[in-house]
Amino acid sequence: MVDGNAPTEAPVPEEDSGKEDSLSAKLAVLSDQLLRLQAEFDNYKKRTAKEKEAVSLAAEAKMMQRMLPIYEEISIAEKEAQKIPDQAVRKGIALVLSKLRSSFEKDGLQEMKLVGEKFDPFRHEAAMHELSDQPEGTIMNVIKKGYLFRGEVLRHAIVSISSGKKAEENAKKEGEK
């Protein structure tokens, strides 16, 4: 049923139909380009945000590396202050060290706990081997502390590791008896 009030479409001349198809094709191309440009811009924003975060993290790590010697000197001062009879000085140094340690931990710095762990060349530097009853490659002593910053090695720990030979020597001695 046809509504008598509805306007009727006039037949479109052949020439106008070609223009319409051409405009539709151009619109499709431009729409596609717009979508690609929007996606490219979104990727750019994500990439620059990641780069900004990486630069910020690198700057923080560098600052932590600069602060580590100061932190360690204060730690040594705290141990040496135990020899001083002035309790106020000891408490003051302990307070400074405690606040510095707390601040570092909040920012993501962790001291590596190593004695008894297995040697890991990605986290540790072996300075010497020790004869020991411990299995070969077990960390025996920490010569210089190592630190992690947000899960990444900030400074490798310098350690001495077990050569495991003492256990072998004891086994040989018992075998000879």
Report the distance separating Cα 58 and Cα 54, nearest Å: 6
150 domain residue, yes or no: yes
Cα angle, residue 123 at apex, residues 120 and 125 outer, rounded to 5°: 80
DSSP per residue over 121-150, as a string? TTTEEEEEEE--SSPTTBEEEEEE--EEET
47 domain residue, yes or no: no
142 domain residue, yes or no: yes
What pLDDT, in 10s, does the model give residues 7-52? Answer: 555 555 556 777 888 899 999 999 999 999 999 999 999 999 999 9
- Write out the H or E segment, with its range, that includes residue 15: helix 14-81
Closest of 51, 53, 65, 56 to residue 149, by C-alpha: 65
95 domain residue, yes or no: no
72 domain residue, yes or no: no
What is residue 21's predicted lDDT score, i.e. its pLDDT? 86
What pLDDT, in 10s, does the model give residues 144-176? Answer: 999 999 999 999 999 999 988 765 565 566 666
Per the structure, how many domains does the chain have? Answer: 1
Range of the domain at 131: 109-177
Residue 8: other Cβ atoms inside 10 A: 6
159 domain residue, yes or no: yes
Report the distance separating Cα 147 and Cα 13, nearest Å: 80
What is residue 62's predicted lDDT score, i.e. its pLDDT? 95
When computed from its CA atoms, the radius of gyration of the chain, rounded to whole angstroms, is 35
Which is more confident, 120 or 8? 120
155 domain residue, yes or no: yes
Looking up residue 164, the CATH number of its domain turns out to be 2.30.22.10
Structure pTM?
A: 0.68
If you search the block for the tokens 């540790």, which residue do you land on?
124
